[in-house]
Structure 1
Amino acid sequence: MADAPPQPPAPPSKEQQLSIEEQQIIAEIQELQRHLRELKAQEGHDDDEELVVPTTKTRTPRRVLVVANRLPIRARRDARTARWTFDTAPGGLATALRGIATDVEFVWVGWLGADVPPAERPRVAERLMREHGCYPVFLDAQLVDRYYNGFCNDVLWPLFHYVPLPAYQAGAEKKFDARLWEAYKEANARFADAVLEVWSAGPPTENDSTATSKVPDYVWVHDYHLMRLPLELRRRDARVSVAWFLHTPFPSSEIYRILPYRRELLEGLLHADLVGFHTYDYARHFLSACSRVLDVSTTTPKGIEFGGRFCSIGVFPIGIDPTLIRNTLKSRAVRRRTAELGATFKGRKVLIGVDRLDYIKGMPHKLLAFELFLARNPSWVGKVTLIQVGVPTRTDVAEYQALAKHVNELVGRINGVYGTLEYSPIHYINQSIPQDELIAIYHLADACLVTSVRDGMNLVSHEYVAAQESLDQDDTGIEETRPRSRASSSKDDDDVLQPFVKEGPGALVLSEFAGSAQSLSGAIRVNPWNTDELARAIHDALTLTRVERELRWAKLHRYVSTNTASYWARSFVDEFRDVCEHPPLLPKLPKLPAGRVLQAYQRASRRLVVTDYDGTLTQMQSLPRLATPAPVVTQLLATLSRDPRNTVYVVSGRERRFMEKWLGRLKVGLAAEFGFCHRAPGSEEWTSLGRDLDTSWKDVVRPIMQYFAERTPGTYIESKESSLAWHYRDADPHFGAWQAKDMQIHMEDVMSTLPLEIIQGNRLVEVRHVGVNKSLVLEEVLRQGPRNGYDPPPPSRSEDSPQVALTEDFDFVLCVGDDRSDEDMYQLLKSWHSRRCEAIDHEDDRAPDLYNVHIGPGATHAEFCLESVVELRKILRGMAATSLKDSRTRRR
């Protein structure tokens, strides 16, 4: 199920735009290369021994709860006796996990695929856990229809395969039914409840059989059906270790953004410890969607920091079990069937195609190209046959019925034009076929055609490569247990059992939109939408020399034999374990302790409160003029500034006019344009760093900014008294950041002799005079000390009296900001605090309380953090309440 995304139409090169994400895939490639070097050292092993990447088993793996939409169980209920029968029905996932089942204990959690009456559910659940190690999630019929058939199959599946939501639906007033989303959330919540019923604390350790020493289970969630499950699990128990893997493509951000509930799905996934994809392209699209939809950036090459958590991203291409195919190929039944088919198609080349009858598999594209090939190469008519297996799926859906009809019409048309009484160009098998039959056809075929228009991986390509392995003439294979027919002669039986002799391996024609195309470099890659190219590829596959076919197959077989299903499962589980046991070390700041701050504020008598404006007192806005202070903000500032114990400053990059208009009536100190001009609390006179400052440099810088603004949609220039700023908050985040770096390079060339500096802020680039920063104003405030004239009572040195701070200076400082321009203030206050602590000369003196606070994520010199503006307002509200209470007490 693949995805080969179109290149985004952006001016910057792909390497520049995706440098962070590319570091991730480079690390993955280096790890794979290390494993391959180990494999090359094993070249002396027996040819029949499966080459599996060596993995360590020194650590005892934990129990893993595998959560999938469907359990690998087929359930049937006898209508007469009401007795349930459960049979194993392994799918691709169950087969992939079977290879490491001896090392890891798996417990399955999923929907049973049957509607179980409520009275029978406890008994059914108990039987499934006891007999099959499966725990069912019970869903009623209506929920299944809306969650599975509606949201999963009719919304997510098409969209993830680049089929957008329909622009029009007959008989529907809206293009999207919100009830489907509600059902999806409800189903994910029920899955979470079921998981936690099994999860608890996991099995006891070997050294302690008591329930007091337990190791938590891992929870491995699979596919697009359960994208909300990581979040639902976190809400119920934050201790759960959860990973999620996608078995389909993840679409480009432009396609993904069509989803009405795009944010909610991404937020659900980012609560996982590890998110895995088949290919780097899918991982890159996921990172891009998070950046554009959630407005988050990749914090490290290995994942995303979001909501105070780190979600690791990994690439894990799945494979097959080549040993199973090899053993099946050696069996007498398959060798006999291969010989029979070889006799049937003697003198003809055979092409094989195996697909579900799904619109993403590109069956019509394959048939049209084969028709064109026959039309252009009439000499091949009668000499080549396409065996096309089309496995029916979703036969009750109108779109799939229309596809089946179209395929039947194409097959009939081609056979009608080019077929004869003895010859049919296409043998169309519209049903699933037994594994032995399929392996026999694989081995017989001279070429395999995989023409998916989108496919997550498509393991048909892997199976074909594995089945092309040559067999020795004298290898009788695995003995068959069935007795021979007495009616058949020994001579006839020996003739039938003669192995089919291939003239070298076949060729693989592989769609570039299949995920496996990124790994199988020995294939003939095609664009299935280009019928002419695909027809030429069929001709090339049939006419390759034996030497070239052998070289291509050796390259393909080397990859298929090493990157097996067991290797995929073990790699993911090992990575999952590493992520949980050794989580990435993030520059995580402790959250500002509100209670401690309020206690320090209450006992202090000379307080200094300094805050930034945008992103601190108010939310960031796309246009600066929209970020006006809310009434609650001005009320809090007014209350704090009226307290004679307080000195309050708002230090911002905003213009002087804006600060005067919205905050000028308050008794707070104001600093505009990063400290270029400021005024003291209660004063109306502004002090500037330079009255005759030369601003002629703007004539040089403005044209450069204008050049990039004209070429970057969503950007604008802000002109201030002492600086120029280029804002790209509304631009595409990747393109805007790339343009900002490019602009800085251009400006540095022309500004090398000017006393200016370039500041990369929060989605802005600002040019200002060297030395202008917020710390200049703060330094002056600290030098002058408290300005409100409050005269505290004289300090007491008695043993019963609480400690007091040094007089003639601030004894409480709260400084809050949100971007790089505030870092100078944090550093200045740290230095000031150190000097004040060193100046203490009496054991009863108390050092001033300092709280440097950074709002939001990111590296900073602050000691504390808050997640949002709302949290800061809660702190300020508590401080204001304390000031009001003290004011009433003093009036008494």
Structure 2
Amino acid sequence: MSRLVVVSNRLADPRKPAAGGLAVALGETLKRTGGVWFGWSGKVVEDGTPGEGALHVSQAGSVTLAELDLCAEDHDAYYRGYANGVLWPVFHYRLDLAHFESGHLGGYRRVNQLFARKLMALLKPDDLIWIHDYHLIPLAAELRAMGCGNRIGFFLHIPLPPQQILAAIPSHEWLMRALFAYDLVGFQTEADLLHFSHYVKAEATAETVGVSQFRAFNSTVQAKAFPIGIDVEDFQRLGCAREARETFETTRKEYSRRRLLIGVDRLDYSKGLPHRIRAFRELLQQYPENRHSATLLQVASPSREDVDAYADIQRELESLCGSINGDYGDFEWMPIRYMHRTVARKRLPGLYRACAVALVTPLRDGMNLVAKEFVAAQDEEDPGVLVLSRFAGAAEQMKEALLVNPYDTHGTAQAIQHALQMPLEERKERHAALLARIREFDVHWWCRSFLQTLEQSRSEA
């Protein structure tokens, strides 16, 4: 196989397991090919020049890490302004939160040009380039403009919205045209792929010229769904380690008289946290037998707290939790234990295993790997139940979960009640089917399938 070059907004050291399954999966191929991982260093230079940045190259074993500094102006325009102020809300169907008037598109393109210039100096003619996520959509087009002839693939980790929503983005034609500079574009779900197909046919009069191939703008791109997974074996090994076992035992002991429900999310408006809390209130109202019996452990990791929309949702969430605890709680029982902090990854398997129900109810999500981690962490002889939003990408694969509409408060509360009352045999059947599927389509399958398809596009070309 050719040398792999991975490009992402941020990069992780593949030698560190705490980096998560994606870093491990990509790290294996990078190590095997002596590859390069290229991305922003995380450093913001306050007095730097826009369009410029120092590149720091180091070795992590056989893998080359190339980290690029950004000046404050570029970071604000590219990352905060356009990527997270326009693309993130629109791609999660929240046109009301997008700042179209901000004028950050120039900075977004300028940083992608900077990435391209710095990356070109590191490339070899036969390298296979894999670019990740919405921050870097136009990167291949900038590389092509500089004469790059390598095979280039792109994977979108977040949802792709329907044509009518995409078309609300000023300069959406330029953005989507940039995808035709790639040889392969990967999406999380078949629904995302369908949205891409509808857009390019309606807006760019694209032709279908082969299996999952589209031609427009004098270019042909292959587009397919590659649902990302987790490293099941690695996560289960993590569950056997001391920290996870301690967390399991402590949690079970502390809540020995309760049925535990768990939610683990970033504090983000796409996660549907207020809707989930309202559904839990509905559960306590409509099914009073759960009072003094069920406790919701809700972890909401801090995220972009300097943005107004995130501060608003934090205040709303804290108010809702406080209201429910005030209305229903007493000295012996608190309905919701809310934690606005990050839980160490090494403790998560133990926390999941101690819980009877997981609530994974985003309003929109590209995939959501918490759903898969919860399944992997369960005791196969007495597994918990997954309540999953139909609007999470994971719902396409995880049909044996209890699928809910998170906007339907009453329906979600009914599904939670079903989960809490589900007989053991049904729980085991559903869990076995879910576990088998996440084992088959794990993160290594995802990595291997994408790169094999990209390599095949090379041979066909």
CA contact (8 A) 2:187 2:227 kept: yes
Deviation per CA, 1:624-652: give whole Å up to 9, x if none.
Answer: xxxxxxxxxxxxxxxxxxxxxxxxxxxxx
* SS of corresponding position for 1:298: strand
What is the deviation of 1:335? 2.4
Alpha-carbon shift at residue 95 of structure 1 (Å): 3.2
Structure whose alpha-carbon radius of gyration is higher: 1
Whole-angstrom CA distance in 1 between matches of 2:53 and 2:279: 54
Match of 1:186 in 2: 110
Question: In 2 relative to 1, CA 294–123 (structure 1 residues): closer, same or farther, beyond 3 Å?
Answer: closer
Cα offset, 1:297, TM superposition: 2.6
Q: Report the CA distance shift for 1:238/1:99 in structure 2 as closer, same or farther (over 3 A).
A: closer
Question: Offset at 1:320?
Answer: 0.5
Check the 8 A contact 2:48/2:72 in 1, yes or no: no
Q: Is the 8 A contact 2:53 2:70 kept in 1?
A: no
Match of 2:102 among 161, 164, 177: 177
**CA distance in structure 1 between the partners assigned to 2:190 and 2:429 by the alignment:** 26
| Aligned-residue offset at 1:128 | 6.0
Is the contact made by 1:382 and 1:425 (CA closer than 8 Å) also made in structure 2?
yes
1:431 aligns with 2:341: yes
Q: For residue 415 of structure 1, what is the aligned residue in structure 2?
A: 325
Checking the alignment, whether the CA contact within 8 Å between 1:221 and 1:245 is kept in structure 2 is yes
Cα distance in structure 1, aligned partners of 2:88 and 2:53: 32
Q: Secondary structure at the match of 2:206?
A: coil
Verify: 1:62 aligned to 2:5, yes or no. no
The yes-or-no answer on 1:291 pairing with 2:169 is no
**Aligned-partner SS, 2:153:** strand
User: Are 2:160 and 1:250 aligned?
Assistant: yes
Deviation at residue 300 of structure 1 after TM alignment: 2.3
Distance in 2, matches of 1:87 and 1:127, equals 15
1:318-338 deviations in Å (ceiling 9; x for gaps): 000111221122224422331
SS for the counterpart of 1:454 is: coil
Q: Answer yes or no: is the 8 Å Cα contact 2:31–2:63 preserved in 1.
A: no
Whether the 8 Å contact between 1:356 and 1:393 is mirrored in structure 2 is yes
CA distance change for structure 1 residues 143 and 240 in 2, over 3 Å: closer, same or farther? same
Distance 2:155 2:276 in 1: 30
The whole-number CA distance in structure 2 between the counterparts of 1:556 and 1:130 is: 36
The CA deviation string for residues 237-292 of structure 1, in whole angstroms up to 9 with x for no partner, is: 14221111100000000100001111101111111000000111101101111112
Is 2:361 aligned against 1:451?
yes
Please say if 1:301 is aligned against 2:228: no
Q: Which runs of structure 2 are paired with 1:862-881 in the superposition (5 Å)? A: none
CA separation of 1:445/1:88 partners in 2, compared to 1, >3 Å: closer, same or farther?
A: closer
Correspondence 1:797-876 to 2 at 5 A: none
Please name the residue that 2:80 is paired with.
149
Separation of aligned partners in 2, 1:166 and 1:302: 33
RMSD of Structure 2 on Structure 1 (CA): 2.4
- The match for 1:135 is 66
TM-score by length of 1: 0.49
| CA pair 334-257 structure 1, distance change in 2 beyond 3 A | same
Measured in 1, the distance between the counterparts of 2:16 and 2:361 equals 34
- Corresponding residue for residue 114 of structure 1: 43
On the 8 A contact 1:115/1:140 being kept in 2, the answer is yes
CA drift of 1:294 comes to 1.5
Contact 2:204 2:216 in 1 (8 A): no
Change (3 A) 1:154 1:445: same
Distance 2:94 2:79 in 1: 18
- Aligned-partner SS, 2:6: strand
Normalising by structure 2, what TM-score?
Answer: 0.94
Deviation at 1:118, TM superposition (A): 7.2
Specify the alignment match of 1:200 in structure 2.
124
Whole-Å Cα distance in 1 between the matches of residues 351 and 207 of structure 2?
Answer: 49
> Secondary structure at 1:351's aligned position in 2?
strand
Deviation string 1:693-748 (CA, Å, 9 cap, x unpaired) is xxxxxxxxxxxxxxxxxxxxxxxxxxxxxxxxxxxxxxxxxxxxxxxxxxxxxxxx
Structure 2: gaps (5+ residues): none
- Distance, in Å, in 2 between the alignment partners of 1:194 and 1:420 is 60
Matches within 5 A, 1:540-559: 540-559=418-437
- Report how many aligned residue pairs link the two structures: 458
Structure 1 SS opposite 2:135: helix
Query: Closer, same or farther in 2 for the Cα pair 1:333/1:442, shift >3 Å?
Result: same
Cα distance in 2, alignment partners of residues 367 and 235 from structure 1: 49
SS at structure 1 position matched to 2:230: coil
Distance in 2, matches of 1:442 and 1:571, equals: 29
Query: Given that residues 62 and 105 in structure 1 are in contact (C-alpha distance below 8 angstroms), is that contact kept between their aligned partners in structure 2?
Result: no
More strand by share: 2
1:318 paired residue number = 228
Distance 1:535 1:89, change over 3 A: closer
Aligned-pair distance for 1:445?
0.6
Q: Secondary structure at the match of 2:399?
A: coil
Classify the secondary structure of the residue corresponding to 2:154: strand
| Cα distance in structure 2, aligned partners of 1:98 and 1:564 | 15
For residue 512 of structure 1, what is the aligned residue in structure 2? 390
Q: 1:123 to 1:89 in 2, by over 3 A?
A: farther
Partner of 2:442: 564
- For residues 386-405 of structure 1, what are the structure 2 equivalents within 5 Å? 386-405=296-315
Alignment of 1:239-638 (within 5 A): 239-470=149-380, 504-583=382-461
Q: CA deviation at 1:139?
A: 2.3
Q: Matches of 2:335 and 2:440 in 1, distance apart?
A: 36
* Alignment-derived partner of residue 688 in structure 1: none
Runs of 5+ consecutive residues of structure 1 not aligned to the other structure: 1-60, 75-85, 170-174, 202-215, 471-502, 584-892
More helix by share: 2
The aligned amino acid for 2:424 is R
Describe the shift of the 1:87–1:139 C-alpha distance in structure 2 as closer, same or farther (beyond 3 A): farther
Q: Distance in 1 between matches of 2:71 and 2:54?
A: 17
Q: 2: CA distance between counterparts of 1:404 and 1:123?
A: 36
- Contact persistence 1:338–1:443 (CA under 8 A): yes
1:634-653 matches, cutoff 5 A: none
Could you say if the C-alpha distance between residues 233 and 289 of structure 1 is closer, same or farther in structure 2, counting changes exceeding 3 Å? same
Matched residue SS, 1:133? strand
CA contact (8 A) 2:388 2:395 kept: yes
